[in-house]
Amino acid sequence: MVDITTEVVSDTAELARRAAEHVAAAARAAVAARGVFTFAVSGGRTPWAMFAELARESVPWAQVEIYQADERVAPDGDPDRNLTHLREALGSAPAIVHPMPVTAADLTVAAGSYGAQLPSAFDLVHLGLGPDGHTASLVPGDPVLSLTGARVGVTQPYLGHRRMTLTYPALDAAREIMWLIAGADKQVPLRQLYARDVSIPGARVSTTKQVVFADVAAAGT
C-alpha cells in the first residue's frame, strides 16, 4: 500500500530548504544504518536549489553516492544535460556521482550496464511531476513505461531529446520517494497522483513510502 505524506510550503525557496533538510536527515540515518547513502536525483531548477541548501546542512558527503533518475541524450557539458547542472550545484561536495552513460554508441547496452550498477534499493529517490504527469523521463505513451525486466531504459524523443531513465522496477524498490512539486500547472497532476490515477506515469510509482513537498501554487491552497 502506498503511503504518501505531504508538506505544503510557501514558495520554491522554502521548498528547496525543506527538501534539503529531509535529504540531510535521510543521509545521516542511512550512513548510520548501512554506511552509505544512495540517492537518485531528477533534473530541474528546484533540485539544484535544494543542493545549494544542502551545503548548509550536516551531510556525510564522503558516504553519499548520487545516481541520476534520468538524463537527456546530449554531449558532455551540454546545458540540456542534468549532469551539467548537478555538478555545478554540488560544487566541492565530495559525493560520488554516477552519471548515466548517454554518450555511449549503443544506448540500450549502456542502459543495461547502468542498471547493473544500481544499488538493490535506493535509500531515497527525488522525483518531479510534469504538467502531463510524467516523472523522471517516464512520459505518457512511451514504450519504456512497460519495461519490467530492466531497471534503466531509453525513451523515444521527448521535447527534443531521447532520454535515459530509471524504470518502475528501480523506483518501486526504493526505500523512499521524495516528490518536489512547484507551480500552479502541477495542480491537476498532483491531484491525480494522490488519487492513484494510473493514466499519468507519476501515479504508477508504487513505492510504499512517499513524501510530497509542494508549494502553495501546486497544492492549490
Task: Spell out the per-residue pLDDT of the chain, length 221, in tens.
Answer: 899 999 999 999 999 999 999 999 999 999 999 999 999 999 888 888 998 899 889 999 999 999 999 999 999 988 989 999 999 988 888 999 999 999 999 999 999 999 999 999 999 999 999 999 999 999 999 999 999 999 999 999 998 889 999 999 999 999 999 999 999 999 999 999 999 999 999 999 999 999 999 999 999 97
Tallying the residues shown for the chain, one arrives at 221
Query: Which residues lie closer than 8 Å to 22 by C-beta, 6 or more apart?
Result: 178, 211, 213
Q: SS3 for 37?
A: strand
Strands of 118-190, DSSP E:
124-127, 152-154, 163-166, 177-181
Domain count, the chain: 1
Q: CA nearest 213: which of 66, 1, 23?
A: 23
Q: SS3 for 102?
A: coil
Note the pTM of the prediction, 2 decimals: 0.96
CATH number for the domain harbouring residue 26: 3.40.50.1360
Q: Order of strands across the sheet with 96-98? A: 3-9, 209-215, 177-181, 124-127, 37-41, 64-68, 96-98
- In the chain, what is the greatest distance between 2 CA atoms, to the nearest angstrom? 47
Distance CA 48, CA 152 (A): 23
Q: Can you give the residue range of the structural domain that contains 76?
A: 3-219
Q: What pLDDT shows up at residue 203? A: 97
Q: What pLDDT shows up at residue 46? A: 82
